[in-house]
Structure 1
Amino acid sequence: MEKLRPKKLGHLVLVVRDIQKSVKFYTEVMGLQVSDWIDDQMVFLRSGADHHDLALSQIPKDSPDINDLPRYSRPGVEHFSYLVEDRAEIERTVEVLKSHGVEIVRGIGKHGPGENLFLVFKDPDGNNVEVYCEMTQIPEGAPHEAKVWERNIDSFDQYRFKHFVVPPPQAVIDAKTKKS
């Protein structure tokens, strides 16, 4: 059977209790830079040229029905990722995963922040693993102003599910329906 062909470990997304406190830690203590935000609920941080190598997602504070993808109520890893060569490799990954009976969770899509293509699937323990490519690069010293994206379909998938190989997450569908 064929295998995936990751090039390197990519980025990590953590679910956090207090996003402002975490941003302060990762910028002021760790020295990371903010690349972009999604409202005040998610932030993308970098230590090098990749748009992000760490993203932080706020645990919903009050309402269990907040559009949280996926829904997490405790701090921890939402997903970790591996860089692959290109879109063709992500498409090949779909076939490899299917041949191994691996559950695909979301994708193929294109995120707003970072502009990267993505495909997310489960490992045997239920962890979310992502393969991605074509992430925005921000070279050292290059001017970059962090953008605040609205938390909507465009920040989640600029293709609007056109290339998804599985049904999109219900929370995103619900949010899309509410805004229509």
Structure 2
Amino acid sequence: MNTLKPRRLGHMVLMVRDIQKSVKFYTEVLGLKVSDWISDQMVFLRAGTDHHDLALSQLPKDSPDLDDLPRYSRPGLEHFSYLIDSVEEMERSVTVLQEHGVEIVRGIGRHGPGDNFFLVFKDPDGNNVELYCDMTQIDENSQHTPVVWERNIESFDQYRFERFVVPPPAHVVATKSGQK
């Protein structure tokens, strides 16, 4: 059987209790820089040139209606990621995951913040693992100004699920159709 071909560990997304307090910690104590926000619910931070190597996501006040397992009712890891070479490699990865009977959770898509392609799947313990490629690079000479994206389908997937190989998460579809 084929295997995936990651180049390196990429970024992580953490669920946090108080996003403002966490941003203050990661910028003022750890020295990370803010790249972009999605509303006041998610922030993308960087230590290097990748658009983000850490993202923080605000825990929902009431999370019972979310269907994206695991249910995020506590702080912790939402997903970690591995960089791959290209979109073509990501498409090949879908076949490899399917051959191995691995559950694909979301993707192939392209996020708004970071402009990166993504494919998320489950490991044997139910952790979300993401493959990504083509992330925006921000070097020290860049004139990058953080942008606040609306919390909508384009910030989640610029292709509006057209390239998804599985049905999109129901809570995102509800947002797309204006139900949430």
TM-score by length of 1: 0.95
SS in structure 2 of the partner of residue 96 of structure 1: helix
1:72 aligns with: 72
Superposition pairs of residues 10-159 of structure 1, within 5 angstroms = 10-62=10-62, 64-65=64-65, 71-159=71-159
Pairwise CA distance, 1:67: 9.6
Pairwise CA distance, 1:164: 0.2
Distance 1:52 1:68 in 2: 22
Alignment deviations for residues 14-40 of structure 1 (CA, whole Å, 9 cap, x no partner): 000000000000000000000000000
- Further displaced range: 29-38 or 71-80: 71-80
- Whether the 8 Å contact between 1:12 and 1:81 is mirrored in structure 2 is yes
Return 5+ residue gaps in structure 2 as ranges: none
- Whether the 8 Å contact between 1:17 and 1:75 is mirrored in structure 2 is yes
- Whether the 8 Å contact between 2:81 and 2:129 is mirrored in structure 1 is yes
Distance change (3 Å), C-alpha of 1:176 and 1:70: farther
Distance 1:37 1:85 in 2: 26
Name the amino acid aligned to 1:52: H
SS in structure 1 of the partner of residue 88 of structure 2: helix
Pairwise CA distance, 1:63: 6.0
How many residue pairs align between the two structures?
180
Identity %: 72
Distance 2:66 2:84 in 1: 32
TM-score by length of 2: 0.95
Aligned-residue RMSD, C-alpha:
1.8
Name the amino acid aligned to 2:144: H
Pairwise CA distance, 1:141: 2.4
- Whether the 8 Å contact between 1:60 and 1:68 is mirrored in structure 2 is no
Name the amino acid aligned to 1:111: H
Alignment deviations for residues 79-111 of structure 1 (CA, whole Å, 9 cap, x no partner): 000000000000000000000000000000000
Distance change (3 Å), C-alpha of 1:89 and 1:109: same
Distance 1:15 1:29 in 2: 19
- Further displaced range: 54-63 or 158-167: 54-63
Distance 1:53 1:36 in 2: 12
